[in-house]
Every structure is written in structure tokens, then in C-alpha cells.
Chain A
Amino acid sequence: MSASPTMQGSFTPADEAAVRRAISSTSRPPAPGPLSAALTFGWRGMLKVKHVPEQLLDVTITPVMFVLMFTYLFGGAIAGSTGEYLDYILPGILVMSVLFTTVYSGVALNTDLTKGVVDRFRSLPIWRPAPLLGSLLGDSVRYLISGTVIILLGVVLGYRPDAGVVGVLAALALVVVFAFGLSWVFTTLGLVLRSPNAVMNAGFMGIFPLTFLSNVFVDPETLPSALEAFVRVNPISILATASRGLMEGNAEGGDIAVVLAVAVALTAVFAPMTTRRYRRG
């Protein structure tokens, strides 16, 4: 082997022997199963929470500010007292906080795509949907974190839901399941649009108005009738209502069923769309 005369620094000709040893020393293990591959991608998502906590912070700070602002500025006017309004708004903001986080699933996928990481994953002998499914599993942990932050904030501010810990956990689980379904919409967007920023803008352009035109902040009874009709059928309203119900111990089975059905429908439509696009590259 001819070592180049200009070589210097930390990488010396001696390392070339090490490179050769490193190359010759492996035999190929059997490829991992689908679940194992997906979980490895989930682990990658966790590492990102650790290394880039800003991303989670960005989407959590807005809802935190909303809780504080709405409760103390408008709470009295809207619901008569800040305490009562907190009971109303907290489950709603939980929904908002988690759904905002879903946009980042699309942003992250688009980032992988534009940085060339996806090419490497797609050249591996693994179950093809593993990177997508694994990332969303990892993202679900993000959803849990951002939901937990809101709930803890509520407790600090004096929120004491009637259904206790069990009710809160049930609501959190329902919101995360819905978010999992919704995030497939954003991964599809992440594969279609050109840049991470475009995904972010398009994502929030959709999720922001949908959240405001729901019953997250106000009871739709006070709204003009056309708007009220929309707010009532908006799945985000139904999710917020179901979450309130679970936390207060008076949830209606119908609402929960609708939320789960929408989550399944979103997954059924957008998961195959994402997978197909991802496969094609």
C-alpha cells in the first residue's frame, strides 16, 4: 500500500493497517427482524430528544404560554373564574400541545431526506417500513413528554381532575394514539415537500386553524351557527371533549370511538401513502 506523502495529523500510515484489520475482521450477522429494526429507529428518535431538546421545547413553550395567558387573562371573562376555566382549557391544551408536536415528525423525515440519511437507510437489508414506523414510535415518546409537561403545569396551577391519575393517563393515551394517526399525514407531507421549512409552514398552516376552530379554547355555543357546526364535527373538538371526559370521569364512549376511528382512518390512508413514497425514493 502506498501511503500518501502529504498525510499527517491524527490519521497516520499506521492507521492504514488498522483500517485493513477493521475491514477484514467482520462476518455478516443475520439481518435484524422487523420489530428489532423498528425499535432501533425508535432508539434513534430518543437520542435526538437528548441531543436536540430545543425541538421539543419549541413546541412545548407555545402551549405553556397559552395555558398561562388564557387562564389568567381571559379565564375570568370566559368561564367566570380562572379555576373553572383551567378545568376546561387544560385537556384542550394537552391536545393542542401533542398535535403541534406531530408536525415535527414530518419535518424530521424531510430533514433526513434532504441530508441523504434516508438513502443510507434505504440501502440497508431491513424491513422497508422500519425507519418510518420506528421513528413514529420514537416520536410517540415525544408526544408523551410534551403532554406530561402540560399536565404537570396544570397540577402546579391547581388543576385537580375528578378522575385522578387513571383518568389523566387514559386521556394522555387517547391523545397519543390520535397523534400517531395524524403524524402519518405529516410524514406524507415530509416526503412530498421540498424542504423541512416548507413542511413546518404547511403543517402549522393546517394544524393551527384546525386547533383554533375547535372547542379547545371556548365552548362553541357562543359561536355563529355556521362556525359552530364546523367546530362540532372537527375531530380535534371531539378529541378535546373525550379527553375532558376521561379526566373528569364522564367520558362518552361515542366520542372515544370517533377519535379512535379517525386515528385508524388516517393511518389506513396515509401510512401506505408514506410507505409507498418512501420506497420509491
Chain B
Amino acid sequence: MTTTSSLAIEATGLVKSFDQTRAVDGVDLAVRRGSVYGVLGPNGAGKTTTIRMLATLIRPDAGTARVLGHDIVQEAHAVRALVSLTGQLASVDEDLTGRENLILLGRLLGLGRPAAKARATELLEAFGLAEAAGRLVKQYSGGMRRRLDIAASIVVTPELMFLDEPTTGLDPRSRNQVWDIIRALVAEGTTILLCTQYLEEADQLADGIAVIDDGRVIAEGTPGQLKASVGTGALHVRLLDPGQRTAAEQVLARELGTVTLPADPAALSVSCAEADRGAEAIAVLARSGVRIADFALGQPSLDEVFLALTGHPAEAGPGEPTAAVEEEEVV
């Protein structure tokens, strides 16, 4: 390598606008070599635009970035020779077979014909696609397509991989398969920049996370740090009767402070640092006539982190109705 920097990605002040939309509005990133870095944000936050700049597909309007030591604008070709991209749309050719897709990529990366064929066979077997190798990709399921897409990205092992929402739209089983592949890649030393809307995904895979919203990084840290920054813990309550949620919200707000309302209509969460205050709040809630199905005292989820940071839930786009939360600055 031409550089000894321990950072695989160093981005400063990246900006990209489309017409009036400021898709990316001053993003800084520092990603260590060999790590999985999660870029977490809701739809439209600017994740794909950030990845496309770093993968040299579009030029930033302002700001600079070095990927594996190479400037993404001045040395775009050198960057391309070291990275691979698995785009948000599974970027494989639907009109070709799985095997043909991999041979095509192998040839384009400089493998000779026999080497490209052998490599395709090896990857199809490793990714559980040997049986479907001769079928056209348009007949593949979403999970198979995504696995082929990732296989296409490692026909020649990249030093850094961009993965843009690799499990969006997949069923839980396929999602787990993709997660296992990502873990295997990391175990072999590949650096990964992973964009996702799923908090659980970032929590499961990433060493570091940048939370982005409206084109800006609004928080950065390890999953643990992000959780800690919101509060030391949270009280999660589930009601027997969702109709009592408003009543329960009033009681908990009085006892402990701002309540967040998860998607589950029978659930409430409230940040709560001390266990005995939580126990007291539960007692008050029970006495008020609200029937409780169960409750737990634990770490805040990344969902709550996101809500606390942005004022809107992560899975919904901006502008959705939001539960009342205070804005908290983190990091």
C-alpha cells in the first residue's frame, strides 16, 4: 500500500447537492482499517450519496476524502482498484445467469478466462448458489440476488467494501445469511462501510457508528457509547390494553420524564437512571389502574438513541409525527 495511515476512510466536510436538495451537508468520517463502520440513518438521510462519493461514482461539491490513502477525486482510479461496491439496488445483471455475472466481473478485473470460470465456481459454492448457477438472475429470490451481489464484489478480494443497505427487503433468514457473510469478510480483514436503516444491523455488525440525518452526522461512537449518551437505562413497559397507553404515558411522564412511544401500540419506554425510581414508577402505574403485561429495566435501544437525537423515529422518514422528546446533543 502507498500509505501507512491506519485510517481506511478519512472524509472532511463532504457536500453534495442535487438541484435544491442538499443531500449531503458536511459529512466527516474516520474509519479504521479492518473495522466495520456503520452509517445509520433513515431513508433520504444521505447515506447512498455519501457512499457514491466515496466510491468515486460522483464528485463532491465540497470537502475532501481519502480512501485507503488515495484522494477520491485526484486519484479516483487508484481508489477503484482497491474497493468494491455493493449498491443499494442489487447491482447484478438480471438477464445473465449467476455464473455469467461472476465470470463477467472476473474478466473485467483482469482474470483470464479459465481463472474467471474457476473463481465463479468457487464463489457460487461458497455462497450456496451452486444449484442456481445456470439460472437467469431475474429468477433469483431477493436473498439469492443479494448473495450473488456480494459474491460479485469479492471476485477479487477488495481491501474495502461499500455495502449499501445489504439486507433491506430481505426476510429474516436471508438477512442472517448476509450478516454471516459480512462477519466472515471482517474476519478476513476487509474494511467495511455499511449503510443501513436498521439499528439492529448496525448494533450487530458495526464497531463504530455514525448516525446521519438530513445529510449531517448528528452522533458518532461505538454502539455502547451511543446508548450511554442517551441515558444509563430505560424502563420498558407493555400494557395489556393498548387503549390505556395515553393514561400510562401521563403517569410515567410525571414520575420519570419524557416518554417515547415505540411502534408496538401497547408499549412505552422512558429513560430511567436508577432502578428503585423505576420500581416506584411501576408501582404508581399499577395503582392508577393501568394493567401491565410486563416491564423491564435495561439499556436504551438504538431506536431510542435515534429518537432522542433527531426527534423522529429512525424507520420513518423525516416529517413523520413524532413523540415528544427533548433534543440531546451527543459527542
Residues of A within 8 A of B (CB): 1-4, 6-13, 15-16, 18-26, 28-32, 36-37, 40, 43-44, 47-48, 51-52, 112, 115-117, 119-126, 280-281
* Contact A26–B187 (Cβ < 8 Å): no
CB distance from A235 to the nearest CB of B (A): 32
* Contact A52–B179 (Cβ < 8 Å): no
- Name the residue of chain B whose CB is nearest to the CB of A2: B183
Q: A116-B87, A119-B57 are in contact. Are A40 and B95 (CB under 8 A)?
A: no
Q: A2-B183, A52-B95, A123-B55 are in contact. Are A25 and B176 (CB under 8 A)?
A: no
* Contact B81–A7 (Cβ < 8 Å): no
* Contact B96–A47 (Cβ < 8 Å): yes
* Contact B188–A24 (Cβ < 8 Å): yes
* Contact A22–B122 (Cβ < 8 Å): yes
What count of chain B residues pass the 8 Å CB interface test? 61
User: A23 to chain B: which residues have CB within 8 Å?
Assistant: 154, 157, 184-185, 188, 190
User: B59 to chain A: which residues have CB within 8 Å?
Assistant: 280
Residue contacts A-B, CB under 8 angstroms, 7 given: A10-B128, A23-B184, A43-B104, A51-B97, A115-B93, A120-B91, A280-B59
User: B155 to chain A: which residues have CB within 8 Å?
Assistant: 26
Residues of B within 8 A of A (CB): 52, 55-59, 77, 80-81, 83-85, 87-97, 100, 104-105, 107-112, 115, 119, 122-123, 125-128, 131, 136, 147, 152, 154-157, 172-173, 176-177, 179-181, 183-185, 187-188, 190
Which of the residues A4, A29, A47, A48 comes within 8 Å of B110, measured between beta carbons? A29
A32 to B110, CA, bound (A): 5
Q: A23-B188, A31-B81, A124-B109 are in contact. Are A115 and B91 (CB under 8 A)?
A: yes
* Contact A1–B183 (Cβ < 8 Å): yes
When A and B form their complex, what is the total count of cross-chain residue pairs whose Cβ atoms lie within 8 Å?
153
- Name the residue of chain B whose CB is nearest to the CB of A124: B108
* Contact A15–B176 (Cβ < 8 Å): no
A23 to B177, CA, bound (A): 16
CB distance from A90 to the nearest CB of B (A): 32
User: A8 to chain B: which residues have CB within 8 Å?
Assistant: 173
* Contact B85–A120 (Cβ < 8 Å): yes
- List the 9 shortest-distance A-B pairs measured between CB atoms, nearest first: A116-B89, A11-B128, A29-B110, A18-B126, A125-B81, A116-B91, A4-B176, A120-B91, A123-B85
A21 to B122, CA, bound (A): 9
A3 to B177, CA, bound (A): 9
Known: A22-B122, A29-B111. 19 other contacts (CB 8 A): A4-B180, A12-B128, A15-B126, A23-B154, A23-B157, A24-B188, A26-B119, A26-B154, A26-B156, A26-B157, A32-B107, A43-B107, A44-B104, A51-B95, A51-B96, A116-B91, A120-B87, A123-B57, A280-B58
Which of the residues B92, B126, B173, B185 comes within 8 Å of A6, measured between beta carbons? B173
A208 to B128, CA, bound (A): 48
User: A11 to chain B: which residues have CB within 8 Å?
Assistant: 127-128, 147, 177, 180
User: A4 to chain B: which residues have CB within 8 Å?
Assistant: 176, 179-180
* Contact B84–A123 (Cβ < 8 Å): yes
A192 to B111, CA, bound (A): 33
User: B177 to chain A: which residues have CB within 8 Å?
Assistant: 7, 11
